[in-house]
Amino acid sequence: MKHRPFVIALTGGVASGKSAVEAIFRRLGVAAYDADVAARAVVLPGSEGLAEVARVFGPGVLDADGSLDRAAMRRRIFDDPSARKTLEGLLHPRIRQWLRDAVDADTGPYCIVSIPLLVENRAHYAWVDRVLVVDASVDTQMQRLMRRDGIDQALAERMIANQSTREERLAIADDVIVNDGEPEHLEHAVGLQHARYAQLAAERR
């Protein structure tokens, strides 16, 4: 029978610390496949995804070198929900396929799939085995966002409001890591989950 790793979906709100958690898992030798990386890969020059985006939105969303002009694309979809939905319809199936292909090729006992918008797309990821949520209070998210991106409170509030709520994320969680901003706490919490996932993967085999 073909090997299939145990799959952990990693998610959390903006500025909750997903990247930090993913980085610790990587240091522990666990492969992590990121939806943000997939989103860039599926619109690389020469890809079917980029050709489709250009066909639907016109050549104005391409740079002079033929790659996706992300700033132009952001402007197109920022205030136009229908354009955003159209773009998501083009790219999300390709992103999911990229992640699935990466998981299918993985040879480790378990792997991480990092999906920021998991709550909004949970039905499409029925193939993951567990959901790990990185949790932080909204106040903590706000402070980190303002510091990280150099933005004001109003924009930080809007960015947080545009995502699923903390309660919605916790409702789909099998496991939760609370990221209170203490690096040693985070290392310890990830270490505990790593041991647990390795055991669950071994039990399934």
**Is residue 96 scored above 70 in pLDDT?**
yes
pLDDT tens string 49-95: 999 999 999 998 999 999 999 888 888 887 788 998 999 999 999 99
Residue 1: per-residue pLDDT: 58
Burial of 121 from C-beta contacts in 10 A (0-12 / 13-18 / 19+): middle
What lies within 8 Å, CB to CB, of 32 at 6+ separation is 10, 22, 25, 26, 111, 112, 113, 114
pTM of the model: 0.90
Specify whether the CB–CB gap between 183 and 30 falls below 8 A.
no
| Cα dihedral 107, 110, 112, 117 sign | positive
pLDDT score of 77:
83
Pairing of the two strands 6-12 and 175-178? unpaired
Calpha distance 170→160 (Å, rounded): 15
**pLDDT value, residue 76:** 85
In the chain the domains, ranked by start, together with CATH numbers, are 1-31+108-205 (3.40.50.300), 36-105 (no CATH)
Residue closest to 44 by CA, chosen among 67, 26, 16, 63? 67
99: confidence class by pLDDT, cuts 50, 70, 90? very high
- pLDDT tens digits for range 152-182: 999 889 889 888 999 999 999 999 999 987 8
Instruction: Find out whether 121 and 11 touch, Cβ atoms under 8 Å.
Output: no
Q: What is the pLDDT of residue 18?
A: 95
